[in-house]
Amino acid sequence: LSSRLNGVFDKLRRRGALSEADVNEALREVRIALLEADVALPVARDLINKVRERAVGAEVIRSVSPAQQVIKIVNDALVEALGGGEGGEAPDGFAPGLDLNAPAPLPILMVGLQGSGKTTTSGKIALRLRTRDKKKVLLASLDVQRPAAQLQLQTLAGQAGVTSLPIIPGQSPLEIAARAMDVARRELYDVVILDTAGRLSIDDALMEEVAAVKAATRPHHTLLVVDAMTGQDAVNTARNFQDRVGVNGIVMTRVDGDARGGAALSMRAVTGAPIRLLGAGEKLDALEDFHPSRIAGRILGMGDIVSLVERAAETIDRDEAEKLAAKMQKGQFDLEDFASQLKQVGKMGNLSGILGMLPGMGAMKDKIANAKIDDGMIGRQAAIISSMTRKERKNPDIIKASRKKRIAAGAGVTVQDVNRLLKQFDDMSAMMKRMNKLGQKGLMRGGLG
Ligand code: GDP
Ligand code: MG
């Protein structure tokens, strides 16, 4: 996905302006990318239309490339569709996690397809409420479909250190729910988690049963649990649960797998309910709050590049960057340029970030990270470079041992620090030459923008 998008954006960035044709071409690819991320077709279509409206005719911002603008517009639309506010920040009133602001015993009803992770998530929520929120939690399994289901929840309750409702064979889900609420009131529980039976697919009788339980217990949260791997079915499932039961929150499980999480977008779009929690593993402590910008990044497949782009747009001087890029390409990059880049990096806060942001550098990012470029060293490195003569900066090879000592003294560092800087510069120059050899000559054209 990411390489596909990089390709599009590389193309866009060479043109310099956002025309309708450019945007449409990019969005065709974005659409495929979204579908690959398991976003349901109608949901992907809506998002694309929204992005097109915003992108076409958008004034080209001088300090960023058209590519950056498209990345940002797609990303912002995704974040917004996932329930986030401007710039991926939580909007007013957005509270990830659960709202516990209701009279005890507060009922939470877990619904969803079989195997989506309802029972596991019930245990996870119980553990979190007990340990973090200091709540007295009662777990009750209403799953009378599978003989082992109630025992499974009992085991999880034990692991979470909370009580589970004693099992009485032969009771209906409605009877179990009533008993759970009754016990909770008498024994002063804060929260009652009602775990329901799984459905392999939407089943009328079971839907009615859940709806009846909901009517009887009036849950504060009715959480639709959905597997992140759910693809095009997500819309159907969500719509059915919303129409027939009514849900006011979504939990997405198995985000620890390689699913891109497009189901979250589909579910959110169809139900209008916020995604509240993420399941990130089989263990009970693998429960996370939902952050729209993180999942948006995952769906888009561009990791933290978007935020780097945002920061870069604010701090990188485009003209200077273009000059630098041209030099890099011609292999004329010297220590003076390195110093000026360090200054930019100082403003950005992260060197591997700035390099990772260069289009096509995604693949190089690991290498850069391995090179362990220490951001805390930036100030000292700048001092070392400024202690050199102009000639030395242009051609570091002429720096002999005696000069290294002088430079170190002038910069208030050790000779090892000077050597490290020279080595780093060598590595960087070598990397740039390699990149040029890789036939990525067009890579830097247009600068960092
Ligand atoms: P239910 O039928 O909806 O109650 O689903 P279960 O809670 O029984 O979960 C089905 C399977 O999915 C179990 O093997 C769980 O261990 C596993 N599972 C649940 N949540 C997660 C998760 O977030 N990550 C991973 N990797 N596995 C999970
Ligand atoms: Mg279950």
CATH, residue 20: 1.20.120.140
Same domain, 113 and 200: yes
Give every strand in the sheet of 275-279, ordered side by side.
Answer: 163-164, 137-141, 191-195, 106-112, 221-227, 249-253, 275-279, 287-289
Q: Which residues are annotated as a binding site?
A: 112-119, 195-199, 253-256
* CA-nearest residue, atom 9 of ligand 1: 117
Residue 48, classed as helix, strand or coil, is: helix
| Res 435 pLDDT > 50 | yes
Measured in Å, residue 131 CA sits from the centre of ligand 2 at 23
| Whole-number Cα distances in Å, 260 to 8, 71, 263, 272, 284 | 20, 17, 8, 20, 22
In which domain, by residue range, is 327 found? 317-444
Amino acid at 2: S
Same structural domain, 49 and 188: no
Q: Is residue 7 part of a domain?
A: yes
Same domain for 324 and 263, yes or no, is: no
Q: In this structure, what CATH number is given to the domain that contains residue 410?
A: 1.10.260.30
- Of 201-210, 235-244, 342-351, 374-383, the range with the highest mean pLDDT is 235-244
Contacts of 394 (CB under 8 A, 6+ apart): 334, 335, 336
How far is residue 236 from each of residues 52, 87, 101, 420, measured CA to CA in Å? 26, 30, 31, 58
**How far does the centroid of ligand 1 lie from the alpha carbon of residue 117, in Å?**
4
Q: Tell me how far apart the alpha carbons of residues 118 and 109 are, in angstroms, rounded to a whole number.
A: 10
Q: Are residues 124 and 235 in the same domain?
A: yes
CB of 281 closer than 6 angstroms to any ligand 1 atom: yes
- pLDDT per residue as tens digits for the range 421-430: 898 888 777 7
Q: For 398-409, what is the mean pLDDT?
A: 92
Q: State how far the Cα of 290 lies from the Cα of 168, in Å rounded to an integer.
A: 36
Higher pLDDT, 178 or 303: 178
Please work out whether the CB of residue 234 comes within 6 Å of at least one atom of ligand 1. Answer: no
CATH number at residue 110: 3.40.50.300
Which stretches of 218-304 are DSSP H helices? 234-244, 262-271, 292-300
Task: Between 104 and 13, name the one with better pLDDT.
Answer: 104
Ligand 1 atom nearest the C-alpha of 112 is: 3
Give yes or no for residue 245 having a pLDDT over 90.
Answer: yes
pLDDT tens digits, one per residue of 181-208: 999 999 999 999 999 997 777 778 888 9
Query: Are both 205 and 330 inside the same structural domain?
Result: no
DSSP character at residue 363: G
Pocket probe for ligand 1: among 118, 139, 282, 290, the residue whose CB has the most ligand atoms within 8 Å is 282
Q: Which two tokens stand for residue 141?
A: 């399994």
Ligand 1 close to Cβ of residue 253 (< 6 A): yes
Q: Is residue 307 part of a domain?
A: no
Structural domain count of the chain: 3
ipTM: 0.99
pLDDT at 430: 76
Type of residue found at 101: N
Asked if residue 318 has pLDDT above 50, the reply is yes
pTM for this model (two decimals): 0.66
Ligand nearest to the CA of 120: 1
Does residue 60 share a domain with residue 14?
yes
The answer to whether residue 302 is domain-embedded is no
Name the residue with higher pLDDT: 114 or 306: 114
Indicate whether residue 285 lines ligand 1 (CB < 6 A).
no
Residue labelled with tokens 């499980």: 253
Q: How many other C-beta atoms lie within 10 A of the C-beta of residue 40? A: 25
